[in-house]
Structure 1
Amino acid sequence: MTQQAPSKPHSDRQLPLPLITIAIPVLNEADNLAALYERLCHLAETMAERCTLEFVFSDNHSNDLTWTKLSQLASKDSRVRAIRFSKNVGYQRSILANYMHARGDAVMQIDADLQDPPELLAEFFDLWRSGHRVVYGIRKVRAEGGAINLFRRLGYWTIDKLSEHPIPRDAGDFRLIDRSVLNALARMNVPSPYLRGMIASLGFEQIGVAYKRDPRRLGQSKFNLMRITQLGIAAVINHSVVPLRLASFLGAAALVISTIGGLYFVVGKAVQPDYPRGFASIYVLLLFGIGLNTFLLGIVGEYLLRTYWILRGEPLAIVEDALNFRMDEIRL
């Protein structure tokens, strides 16, 4: 009777490698795709013994050859998966919609312009395996003018100070998040998302990694001063009630100032009957009151607008076309 060799203990069995999704939102980035794909493939080789990778692109309705080039890459590499939206839904919504189509145990988001080095996945991965659910990049150096850098730093400081919870400063959307964080994001109904604030508000174990941000080599940046300002407004409105309280404070202050001014003119008229009528003062106060009311109504309107968006129930994005996806995998 032959003796059967003892089976290996369960702890000795080789566990499957974790799947990491590299999520890349794109808008008119045809010139950068070849270099990006080359670096992603090299990254997959260097990380082959630690994890497997998939590359999920979300095309925000580009009007150049971006989708054509993605189709070519997807036809020869099953790791390349892509969705194309029916219209431009905005940068933050395109990232969140991309997340909804990731299959990985963790998701690393990068931009297609290669300003954020995908090779940092190795460090992000180690921190994730050590128990951190969110690992984000901190931009210590960025190739921009002094004025725009100062504007950004001031914006980050303002958002952090006004927010109900700490939001990392000098951190963009270059991050790695765990599947548990992704599942929590999927349950949040935010029509105008500010992902840095949303992820920070969830808690979890988070850590930052400082890095040097490279300059864009090809294509044009989609973020001008106006869009940066709009993103900052969304950050404050979504994660702070300070503007509403400030509106109440300013309204009360204006009322007090008006009352004092009225008493001043009444007393002045009683003491000196021929006291000047003060048309200039009246006009100044009138214009001040109109301007203040308009400003306060604008703040209230921003909050009401977001309530309206929620009630309207517009989908996050509508997928027009997909590459290397089954129909039952399309979530939008």
Structure 2
Amino acid sequence: MPKLSVIIPCYYNEDNIPVTVRELIANEASFSPEVDFEYVMVNDGSEDGTLQALLDFRAAHPGKVRVVELAGNVGSYNAIVAGMAQATGDCMAIITADLQDPPELIVPMYAYWQQGFKIIIGNRQDREETGLQQLLAKVFHHLMKKIALSNIPDGGFDFVFLDRQVAEHIIALQERNSNLFYLMVWLGYPYVNIPYIRRKRQIGKSRWTLKKKAKLFIDSILAFSFFPIRAISVVGLVLGLAAFSYGLYIIGLRLFGSQEPEGWSALMVVLLFVSAFQMTALGVIGEYVWRGLDAARKRPLYVVKEVYK
């Protein structure tokens, strides 16, 4: 009997949980009766009533729900890894707690898994959100496809279905300051892409702030691309050639007795530009060095406070 683990990271989702779990349970009717379901709900340091809502769900469905309470907030990606480590299913679906991703998509995902695919991606073909949020998302995923991983689907994704073998690889890697879903594609397994339209959030307010989005953008580039370091090298080479050429020009003026240019203002502009580039280059290099230090310390990605089985 195949067992399907549905992993849901939860952060301030007190009002979402009752609605989400109701739809998840109703979605079980679309599966064959021999499929055994397990719900792994990870409370990622929420300080509202999220934990109690999860425990109520567990009490209503004994033996089917596992609630993982983390000691503090570690971010949704690390919370998902914690859920993977606790899940016991042969395959796993990762879905958000706010119902922006349709649970009914798990049905065709499971069908592809039965055909032998180890990764099935629910790809956001479009979004019901409008304005700046939609624009930033499109720009982010377009850049990632161009400079990081060319084989990721357009539009981005965080709704995936994976085989237990893939989950074990992710757990073993214990990679920090990265993009968990890009890491799944990086493993190299062939995947199936199922496009869908991401729903607009109906309940509660998203905690996915601009600061968190900026960190994810930086993490994704530095974890999967050498573009920043290569860009520094190219700009440095161009500036070096320009300085060498200008130096030859000044020497030529001195040798042939011509009047040398007096450009104090131009000199200051060049000095400020080069200094700004140097500080930027040091910042990029520092980001790489800090990530190396963070990995070398080998601190755990998360700390489990309690598991309610």
TM over 0.5: yes
Q: 212-221 or 139-148, which moves further after superposition? A: 139-148
Is 2:49 the partner of 1:58? no
Is 2:185 the partner of 1:162? no
* Deviation at residue 233 of structure 1 after TM alignment: 1.2
State the Cα deviation string for residues 246-269 of structure 1 (Å, max 9, x = none).
Answer: 211111111112222233333345
Cα separation, 2, equivalents of 1:203 and 1:312: 28
Cα separation, 1, equivalents of 2:133 and 2:248: 46
Q: Which residue of 1 aligns with 2:61?
A: 77
State the Cα deviation string for residues 141-182 of structure 1 (Å, max 9, x = none).
Answer: 212224332322222121112125522221321010001111
Is 2:86 the partner of 1:96? no
Q: Which residue of 1 aligns with 2:224?
A: 239
Please give the TM-score of this superposition, normalised by the length of structure 2. 0.94
The 8 Å contact of residues 19 and 51 in structure 1, kept in 2 or not, is answered as yes
Q: Alignment RMSD, CA only?
A: 1.7
Cα separation, 2, equivalents of 1:254 and 1:101: 53
* Number of equivalenced pairs: 308
State the Cα deviation string for residues 22-55 of structure 1 (Å, max 9, x = none).
Answer: 1000100000111011111112233252511111
The 8 Å contact of residues 125 and 154 in structure 2, kept in 1 or not, is answered as no
Is 2:251 the partner of 1:263? no
Correspondence list, 1:57-206, <5 A = 57-78=41-62, 79-163=64-148, 166-206=151-191
The 8 Å contact of residues 189 and 310 in structure 1, kept in 2 or not, is answered as no
The 8 Å contact of residues 129 and 199 in structure 2, kept in 1 or not, is answered as no
Please give the TM-score of this superposition, normalised by the length of structure 1. 0.88
Aligned sequence identity (%): 27
Is 2:24 the partner of 1:40? yes
Q: Which residue of 2 aligns with 1:30?
A: 14
The 8 Å contact of residues 100 and 200 in structure 2, kept in 1 or not, is answered as yes
Runs of 5+ consecutive residues of structure 1 not aligned to the other structure: 1-15, 325-332
The 8 Å contact of residues 44 and 52 in structure 1, kept in 2 or not, is answered as no
Runs of 5+ consecutive residues of structure 2 not aligned to the other structure: none
Query: Which letter maps to 1:22?
Result: V
Q: Which residue of 2 aligns with 1:317?
A: 302
Q: 57-66 or 195-204, which moves further after superposition? A: 195-204
Cα separation, 1, equivalents of 2:149 and 2:53: 43
* Deviation at residue 222 of structure 1 after TM alignment: 1.7
State the Cα deviation string for residues 265-319 of structure 1 (Å, max 9, x = none).
Answer: 3334555654342211111111111111111112211211111011111101001
